[in-house]
Structures are given as structure tokens and as C-alpha cells.
């Protein structure tokens, strides 16, 4: 009986107390692969308000349900959280899951996405998104909750020609593709227009209205001088390479075991933050305006290193956030928060022991101001920021869906969704 009681206590520690009406706001979602073969993937939530971590939040909110296996990507919108897992976890967690963005209550779970392993997801507006998977790029109807057939010509496999990260620009879906380069898909017709050859492409990402790719032929660990390391700016009309910035180290190439590894972006200052390789112990900084590279902008505490490339930028607080571990056989994992201006440490928190294997960070905005008591007519606006669905911030609106965060001089904020065509 004693042993059973202890196990029950451990379960309660893992599934922290979650009020059914709780809203997960003003904090950080941490998407984890978790311990493959023992657990499904998980989402933890760190609250800026309390300084505490809620473990396995999705399972706690949805008893009997889980995420899929080896989750690597999620997108946080104003209403929905879209979660991609490489495989399903039995019948309790699918490869593609939609949950409420604030409460994490499950809305829909898809056991399969075509016939492949899921990679990433991108909404291009309120009605439509795309899922990249090893069998191709699938359109997704948000309104009806329907996954379409893969776009013709986009299929790959688990370790060859697989689609990965995606961005949306000027009516085109741009998809990074292993060994090939960049798919350019017409989102009005779901037709592959062309494939742009870019050797050693690792990821595609946006900075403001510009599209860039990282080019990297180092597939594990710290790059050497012999490796190809570049950030490439694409032409806004043709999406062909326009200019190349050769850098000692760029963001990771993770095709060998795909992970989301695009750099974290400070839109306002046009700065990139990233891990250059698996199991390294520092974060690099690259200033796009001055083309200045800082290798050890942040160095982790002794014994800590990077699993994957779990680095994020929180524009509301000007934080760089990183998840670290000690080594592959250790259950010691850490949440680290740094000042993005000078790299100084703000907070470091050791997580409850587990093989978390973190995958991605998402930043939940502060609670939306609503109701008569929160009437903003007499308030003075301090700042307005626009966030796209990847969590990137800008002083100007993005094309497509924006989360508009208005901050007032009294410290309160208001968040609302806006679609810009």
C-alpha cells in the first residue's frame, strides 16, 4: 500500500493542480518530446505571474487524452493551439491536435495526417492552414476541420526529401525541403509552382516582411570552419536567393532527426538568437542590420547543454528563453530566462526530474482586457505590437492573422485578433 501511495503522489506532482476554468496566459508553453516509449509527448506551462511550472498541462486539463509521440512543433493563435507530433500515441493522442489557446481543452485530434509523420503547421488566415509531413504538404480547412490530400509533387520520406518549416508570403506558401531547397506553393490553388534549389537548406523563417533561409551542412554538434554556414535573404517576388550572409555559425540543421530549429527573432531590432548545434552550451546572436555575429552571447551554467534548438524570444518582456539539459542519460532539465539586451540571467529553474527532451517554446500573452470595468476609453496607450502566428513581433501589422497587443500606461493590456489582407 505504501508503494501505491507514493506512486499516486508522484502522479499528482506530474499532473499539477489545474482548475478546469484556468487560463494559461502570461507565460511560456514548453512543448516536449518527453520520454519516448514510456510517455506521450507533453506540454508544460511556466507562469510569469506565479513563477511556477504546471507539468503535463494538456493531460491535466483533458483526462484520458494525451498528445502524440515525439511532438516537435506547435503554433499558438488567439483561439487555437495547433500541435504536431511525428506519430500518434495509441488512440489517446493524434499526430495533429487542436486545443483551446487559453484553456488547453481539446477540440479535435487526428490520428493520422495522410500516410506520413507530421512535421510542422502554419495558419495563413482564419480559414486555412498547412501541415507539412513526410508524405507531403497538406492543406487544412480550419472551419470544417478537414485535412486535404498532399499537394502534388511535395512528397518525401522520413529521412529523405522531407518537408519541414513553412512561412507565408505574398500569397505563397514557402516550405523548406531536405536536400531540395524551397517549395513554392500557390495557396489559392494548392499547386506546387516551383522548387528553388538551395543546397544544405536547414530552415525558412521571416523577419518582418522579409523571408530568409538558414544554410548549414553541419548535422550534429558545433560547426567547424570547414562547414557551410549562411543566412540567405530571398527576393520578395521570386523567392530566389538575393543576398548571402556568411556567418561562422548559423541555426541548426536537424534533418537527421527533424526538429524545429529556425532562429528566434527579435523583429524590432532585427536580431537572431539560436543554438548552433546539438549538445552545445551557448546561444549565438546575429544582428542582421550590422551583420555582427556574437558566438557566446549567452553561456549556460556549468554542466548544462542544448538538446535540439529550444531557444525563444519573448518580445513583451525582451527575454531570450532556452531549455537545457545535462546529458542524454540525465533527468536534470532547466528553464533559463535571460535579458535579450545584454545576455544577463533573469531566472534559472530546475524542472521536476524526467526525460523531458524539450522541442519548442511558445509565449502566451497577458490576459485580455474585457468588460465594463476594463473600459479602455479613458486609458492612455503606451505601445501597440503586432504578433504573427509564429510569435514574431512587429510595430507594423503582418499580412494575414495578427494578434494585436495594446499596452496602456497603467500596466494593463488588451489583446485582439486582426486579419490584414
The pLDDT value recorded for residue 393 is 72
List the grid coordinates of 22. 484556468
For 151-204, the pLDDT digits (tens) are 999 999 999 999 999 999 999 999 999 999 999 999 999 999 999 999 999 999
Q: How far apart are CA 69 and CA 172, in angstroms?
A: 30
Radius of gyration for the chain, computed over Cα atoms and rounded to the nearest angstrom: 20
Q: What is the C-alpha separation between 186 and 184, in angstroms, rounded?
A: 7
Indicate whether 6 pLDDT > 60: no
Contact 284, 273 (CB under 8 A): yes
Band the pLDDT of 10: cuts 50, 70, 90.
Answer: very low
Query: In what order do the strands lie in the sheet containing 128-133?
Result: 118-123, 128-133, 136-141, 146-147
Q: Is 323 exposed, middle or buried (0-12, 13-18, 19+ CB in 10 A)?
A: buried
Model pLDDT for residues 378-397, shown as the tens digit of each residue: 567 777 877 776 667 777 78
- Grid cell digits, residue 287: 544582428
Of 155, 119, 112, nearest to 136 by C-alpha is 155
Half-sphere CA count of 308, side-chain side, radius 13 A: 26
Give the chain's mean pLDDT.
90
- Give backbone dihedrals phi and psi of 319, rounded to 5 degrees, phi first: -110, 145
Any idea what the Cα angle at residue 264 is, between residues 259 and 270, rounded to 5°? Answer: 145
- Cα separation, 95 vs 87, whole angstroms: 5
Q: Where are the alpha helices (DSSP H) in 89-238?
A: none
Residue 208 CB coordination number (10 Å) = 15
Residues 149-154: contacts with CB under 8 Å, at least 24 apart: 149/114, 150/114, 151/183, 151/185, 151/190, 151/191, 151/192, 152/191, 152/192, 153/192, 153/195, 154/183, 154/185, 154/192
Lookup result for grid cell 510542422: 120
Place of cell 533561409: 213
pLDDT digits (tens, 9 = 90+) for 265-323: 999 999 999 999 999 999 999 999 999 999 999 999 999 999 999 999 999 999 999 99
| Grid cell for residue 342 | 545584454
Are residues 383 and 376 in contact, defined by beta-carbon separation less than 8 angstroms? no
- Please give the pLDDT value at position 17: 54
**CA 80/CA 314 separation, integer angstroms:** 19
> What are the start and end residues of each CATH 2.130.10.10 domain in the chain?
198-350
At residue 21, the pLDDT reads: 60
What is the CATH architecture assignment of 198-350? 7 Propeller (2.130)
Q: Is 108 left (phi over 0), alpha (psi -120 to 50) or beta?
A: beta
Q: Taking a C-beta distance cutoff of 8 angstroms, is the pair 271, 319 a contact? A: no
Note the pLDDT tens digit of each residue in 318-373: 999 999 999 999 999 999 999 999 999 999 999 999 999 999 999 999 875 544 33
Residue with cell 540543421: 253
Q: Cα–Cα distance between 338 and 304 in angstroms, integer?
A: 15
Amino acid at each position: 500500500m505504501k508503494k501505491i501511495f507514493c506512486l499516486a503522489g508522484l502522479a499528482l506532482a506530474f499532473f499539477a493542480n489545474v482548475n478546469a476554468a484556468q487560463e494559461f496566459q502570461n507565460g511560456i508553453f514548453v512543448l516536449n518530446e518527453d520520454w519516448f516509449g514510456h510517455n506521450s509527448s507533453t506540454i508544460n506551462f511556466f507562469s510569469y505571474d506565479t513563477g511556477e511550472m504546471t507539468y503535463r498541462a494538456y493531460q491535466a486539463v483533458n483526462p484520458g487524452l494525451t498528445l502524440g509521440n515525439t511532438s516537435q512543433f506547435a503554433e499558438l493563435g488567439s483561439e487555437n493551439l495547433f500541435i504536431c507530433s511525428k506519430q500518434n500515441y495509441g488512440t489517446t493522442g493524434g499526430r495533429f491536435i487542436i486545443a483551446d489557446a487559453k484553456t488547453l481543452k481539446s477540440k479535435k485530434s487526428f490520428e493520422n495526417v495522410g500516410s506520413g509523420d507530421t512535421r510542422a503547421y502554419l495558419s495563413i488566415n482564419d480559414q486555412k492552414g498547412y501541415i507539412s509531413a513526410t508524405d507531403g504538404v497538406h492543406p487544412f480547412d480550419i472551419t470544417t476541420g478537414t485535412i486535404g490530400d498532399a499537394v502534388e509533387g511535395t512528397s518525401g520520406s522520413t529521412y529523405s526529401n522531407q518537408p519541414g518549416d513553412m512561412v507565408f508570403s505574398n500569397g505563397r506558401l514557402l516550405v523548406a525541403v531536405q536536400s531540395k531547397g524551397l517549395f513554392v506553393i500557390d495557396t489559392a490553388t494548392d499547386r506546387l509552382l516551383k522548387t528553388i534549389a538551395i543546397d544544405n537548406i536547414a530552415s525558412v523563417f521571416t523577419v518582418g516582411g522579409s523571408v530568409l533561409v538558414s544554410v548549414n551542412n553541419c548535422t550534429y554538434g558545433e560547426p567547424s570552419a570547414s562547414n557551410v554556414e549562411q543566412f540567405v535573404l530571398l527576393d520578395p517576388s521570386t523567392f530566389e536567393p538575393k543576398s548571402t550572409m556568411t556567418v561562422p555559425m548559423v541555426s541548426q540543421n536537424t534533418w537527421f532527426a527533424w526538429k524545429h530549429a529556425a532562429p528566434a527573432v527579435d523583429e524590432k531590432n532585427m536580431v537572431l538568437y539560436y543554438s548552433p548545434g546539438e549538445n552545445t552550451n551557448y546561444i549565438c546572436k546575429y544582428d542582421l542590420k550590422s551583420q555582427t555575429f556574437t558566438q557566446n552571447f549567452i553561456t549556460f551554467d556549468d554542466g548544462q547543454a542544448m538538446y535540439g534548438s529550444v531557444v525563444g524570444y519573448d518580445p513583451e518582456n525582451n527575454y531570450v528563453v532556452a531549455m537545457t539539459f545535462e546529458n542524454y542519460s540525465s533527468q536534470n532539465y532547466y528553464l533559463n530566462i535571460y535579458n535579450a539586451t545584454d545576455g544577463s540571467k533573469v531566472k534559472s529553474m530546475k524542472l521536476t526530474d524526467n526525460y523531458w527532451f524539450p522541442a519548442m517554446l511558445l509565449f502566451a500573452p497577458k490576459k485580455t482586457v474585457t468588460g465594463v470595468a476594463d473600459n479602455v476609453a479613458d486609458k492612455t496607450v503606451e505601445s501597440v505590437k503586432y504578433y504573427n502566428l509564429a510569435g514574431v513581433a512587429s510595430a507594423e501589422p503582418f499580412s494575414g492573422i495578427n494578434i494585436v497587443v495594446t499596452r496602456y500606461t497603467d500596466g494593463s493590456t488588451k489583446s485582439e485578433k486582426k486579419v490584414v489582407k
